[in-house]
Amino acid sequence: MRQLLLPLALCLSFFAFAQQDVKIKNKDRKKDAELVTTEGTIILRLSDSTPEHRDNFLRLVKSHYLDSILFHRVIKGFMIQAGDPTSVRAEAHKPLGNGGPDYTLPAEILPSLFHKKGALAAARKGDAENPERRSSGSQFYIVNGRTFNDHELDSIEVVRLQGRKISPERREYYKTIGGTPQLDGNYTVFGEVVSGQDVVDKIASMPVSSGPDLNRPLQDVRILSAKLVKRKK
């Protein structure tokens, strides 16, 4: 088994190296990212306020790094996560989520970018081993989220946000449209869904495993292809 896995590991290492060599042009930064999945198409707009994450995601798309990758972690009312390259050929019931390139990105956590419904954000390792909150080089999530009441938001301010207050405007958003306010200030948000939120919500509602491959969809949800597309007005 070890001998069989070695060529795949070498292939992934070479692919990650090639991905970092992809050149980003100014016109690329004015395009959206289209993810064609087995459940429909999602179009993402990347934020110019997070240039490191923006350019990295553009390289992932241009190098076809995301093609055939699974949404390996799905939690209804929370988010859908993808970006683990080992998921491409993963057998059923295999736990996923530890794969990615051999680099991380510096945190670009900004108060202006929050975890509203449809937010695109970077996954990362926990604070204990990653106090700088650096982001994974490839793993990302899209917020499905839910709505919250004032009592829940008060509790989140104390327990999850360590006393940081949620502004009245943002409270209203979380109460009426929804998101995942408990993640604000802890993960880098670097874009949002501009089309296909219904696809995100559909994926988030799919049956998932309760076994060792916890929260992996029972039926594979795959990114068939990813490419840059012209923005629609």
Q: Is the pLDDT of residue 11 over 80?
A: no
Asked if residues 142 and 199 have their Cβ atoms less than 8 Å apart, the reply is no
Q: Is the pLDDT of residue 46 over 70?
A: yes
On whether residue 12 sits in a domain, the answer given is: no
Give 141's contacts (C-beta < 8 A, 6+ positions apart): 73, 79, 80, 81, 82, 120, 121, 122, 123
On whether residue 186 sits in a domain, the answer given is: yes
Asked if residues 106 and 52 have their Cβ atoms less than 8 Å apart, the reply is yes
Structure tokens at 160: 């999850």
Nearest alpha-carbon partner for 114 in 82, 73, 156? 156
By CB neighbour count within 10 A (0-12 exposed, 13-18 middle, 19+ buried), where does 160 fall? Answer: middle
On whether residue 14 sits in a domain, the answer given is: no
- 183 SS3 class: helix
The arithmetic mean of pLDDT across residues 15-43, rounded, is 88
Asked if residues 50 and 190 have their Cβ atoms less than 8 Å apart, the reply is yes
On whether residue 198 sits in a domain, the answer given is: yes
Q: How far is CA 130 from CA 51, 123, 209, in A?
A: 21, 12, 28
On whether residue 180 sits in a domain, the answer given is: yes
**Domains contained in the chain, number:** 1
Answering whether pTM is above 0.75, one says yes
Tens-digit pLDDT profile for residues 213-227: 999 999 999 999 999
Give 220's contacts (C-beta < 8 A, 6+ positions apart): 38, 70
On whether residue 15 sits in a domain, the answer given is: no
Asked if residues 74 and 208 have their Cβ atoms less than 8 Å apart, the reply is yes
Tens-digit pLDDT profile for residues 111-170: 999 999 999 999 999 999 999 999 999 999 999 999 999 999 999 999 999 999 999 999
On whether residue 142 sits in a domain, the answer given is: yes
We report the CATH number of the domain holding residue 173 as 2.40.100.10
Q: Is the pLDDT of residue 184 over 80?
A: yes
3-state secondary structure 88-126: CCCCCCCCCCCCCCCCEECCCCCCCCCCECCEEEECCCC
pLDDT band at 204 (very low <50, low <70, confident <90, very high): very high
The arithmetic mean of pLDDT across residues 20-41, rounded, is 95
DSSP assignment, residue 162? T
Tens-digit pLDDT profile for residues 59-104: 999 999 999 999 999 999 999 999 999 999 999 999 999 999 999 9
Domain residues for the domain of 166 are 30-230
pLDDT band at 16 (very low <50, low <70, confident <90, very high): low
Asked if residues 91 and 66 have their Cβ atoms less than 8 Å apart, the reply is no
- 37 SS3 class: strand
On whether residue 13 sits in a domain, the answer given is: no
pLDDT band at 21 (very low <50, low <70, confident <90, very high): confident
